Every structure is written in structure tokens, then in C-alpha cells.
Amino acid sequence: MFQPLDPLLHSELRLAVMSLLVSSEEAEFSYIKEQTGATAGNLSVQIDKLSTAGYIEVEKTFKGKMPCTICRITPVGLKAFEDYVKTLKSYLKVHKK
């Protein structure tokens, strides 16, 4: 019996954001936008969803006079990502057989 994939992570952009944050301590909004190639509006909505779920924390700060949004993955987010990858692996194993 397959475990269902976390619907919050099973989206291209949200998964890309989480994958970026997994390998770094924190990342700026502009960096995530650049790496994912998403539009600012769409990315903002997806980050909001991840933040509401407690998967990431968002800190709004300033860099000089420019506003700067920093995103960090939370322990809850890390656990959800690990579970998502585990489930994904089980899907792929069956698929290979």
C-alpha cells in the first residue's frame, strides 16, 4: 500500500523551494526567485503556503534601505521533506520492478 505524497510538497515550485532550502541554512527571496525562475507573485504565494504550514519561516528585514525577505526551513519542514523523499523512493522502487 502506497503512502500518499504530501500535497503541499507535491507541486513543482514548492518542491523546488524546499529543495533549495534543504541544502542551505537560509536563502533570500531574490536568490530563490533566480534559481527557480518563478515570477515574484507566484513565488510569494507559494512561500506563504509553506510558511502557513510551518514548513519554512520567513523573516522580513532590510539590507541597507532595501527590503529583504529571508526564508529558512524549519524542523517540521525538514521532516516533511524527508518523508516526501522516502515515499517517492518507494514509488520509484515499485515502478522499477
Partner 1 sequence: MEENSNMTAERSLEIITKQIEQSRRAVSKTTGQSLYVSGICIMCTAVLVPIINMITMSQGMIGLGHLLWFALPVVIWLLSRKYIKDREHTPVSLVSSMIAKTWITFGYFGIGFFVIAIIWGIIAPRLLTLSEYATSQIRVAPVIVLLMGMAITITGHILRQRWLVVFGIVAGLLCFAWEHFHVGEAIVMNLVSVESPVALTAAVINSSLPCLTIFIFALVGLLLPGMMLKKQSV
- Coil, helix or strand for 68? strand
Contacting partner 1 within 6-35 (CB under 8 A):
7, 10-13, 15-16, 19-20, 22-28, 30-31, 34-35
Nearest residue (CB) to partner 1, 15 versus 80: 15
Minimum CB separation from partner 1 for residue 57, in Å?
14
**Among residues 3, 79, 82, 91, the one that binds partner 1 under rule CB under 8 A:** 91
Contacting partner 1 within 64-83 (CB under 8 A):
none
Q: Does residue 97 belong to the site contacting partner 1 (CB under 8 A)?
A: no
Q: Do the Cβ atoms of 33 and 49 come closer than 8 Å?
A: no
Q: Does residue 37 belong to the site contacting partner 1 (CB under 8 A)?
A: yes
Element (H, E) at 97: none
Q: Work out the number of other CB atoms within 10 angstroms of the CB of residue 5.
A: 14
Cβ neighbors of 10 (< 8 A, separation 6 or more) are 84
